[in-house]
Amino acid sequence: MWIKGGKLLNDDFQFITGDLQTNGEQIEAIGSCEKAKAIDASGCYVVPGFIDTHMHGAMGKTFIDFDADTFETIAGFEAKNGTTSLVPALSAAKEEKLISSIQYLRSCAENTKKNCAAVYGIHLEGPYFSLKYKGAHLPENIRNPDVQEFERLLNAAGRYLKIITMAPELPGADSVIQKACEAGVCVSAGHTDAVFEQVKHALSLGLKQGTHLFNAMRPLSHREPGTAGALLSDETVKCELICDFVHIHPEVVKLVYKIKGRHKINLITDSEIAAGMPDGDYCVNGRVLSVRDKKTFTEDGSLAGGYSCLIDCVKNLVSVGIPLEDACMMASKNPAETAGIYHKTGSLTPGKLADILILNDKLAIKHVILRGTLIF
């Protein structure tokens, strides 16, 4: 298959004029196509498929409350909307339930379905949280870090555990951070009341990321920089951003971009059960979430996860003046690096999987190519 005449996002995440050839599931070459039969991308942008390393569900389904149709429903919806790779997040839950959901996600990762986004790993969002910043997570599912429990969760996940979000200030956190880092798991600070010095200590142990920056964490203050200040001030740390302009104001997004640059931001959706669904009430993990005007709330009116797809987040960034190539890097290369899959996907590089989006001049999705197959 050839894609002809588009503006291609190259390895350096700069747009170039050129054609792209796929062969089977992989990108074969970037060059010049003389064939008459090709996908016409004239006037369009050709970019890598997006990668969401923090999403919980969509279309009335979640991975923590899985059933027989969960994977195909969620992953099919994501693929059609331009997200070709997933590292689903599991909310805080009792150990038995977490292990069951981990085993389910392992089976999803090992049995990729046609026309579905691939699952490349697991993001444990919890259960080691500060009750003060529990967000939408039920308090009865939150507990202090327990390295023995974490080892059991790690054993259940095997090589598929990619990220754990936790509060680094809690008793027992140091042991879990060290164990996770030894296993190659990205430790991300979130749902935390950590002061600046506590985050700095966690960074010295191997903390690498901040979970949905500014949301469910100790805020930045001019007298105590807090969790957010520590994450922003360390140039080695990546930060997740929910760029739906509901969880974070556009001007704050621009400020974070100025501080962290295009290499240290991972776009995420934190999408929940109601993504892609109409307004209404939805039950997930033992509580009711209400969706009103594409916003998701708990019973007490707190924000509870996202509603958007990554393509919406990319459009939002471009709308406030962030270059498309930078927005695409935040939605592809950066999360691929965090998940340890950049050798497979995340850029338009010969030899990598042909996960490709063709966007028109309005950034609407014209075509989705998933592992070399045109699905939309």
Judge whether 208 and 190 are in contact, CB under 8 Å.
no
End-to-end CA distance of the chain: 15
Give catalytic status of residue 270 as yes or no.
yes
Q: What is the DSSP annotation of 190-220?
A: -SB---HHHHHHHHHHT--EESSTTTTBPPP
Beta strand pairing call for 45-48 and 2-9: parallel
- Which residue type is seen at 359? L
Judge whether 369 and 22 are in contact, CB under 8 Å.
yes
Query: Residues near 189 by Cβ (< 8 Å), separated by ≥ 6?
Result: 165, 166, 167, 168, 199, 202, 207, 209, 210, 211, 217, 227, 231
How far apart are alpha carbons 101 and 119 in whole angstroms? 13
How far apart are alpha carbons 350 and 327 in whole angstroms? 22
Q: Which of 52, 270, 312, 355 is catalytic?
A: 270
Query: Residues near 42 by Cβ (< 8 Å), separated by ≥ 6?
Result: 4, 5, 6
Backbone angles phi, psi at 367, to 5 degrees: -145, 150
How far apart are alpha carbons 41 and 23 in whole angstroms? 18
How far apart are alpha carbons 54 and 211 in whole angstroms? 9
Instruction: Name the residue among 217, 239, 264, 276 with its Cα closest to residue 56.
Output: 276
Residues assigned a catalytic role: 270
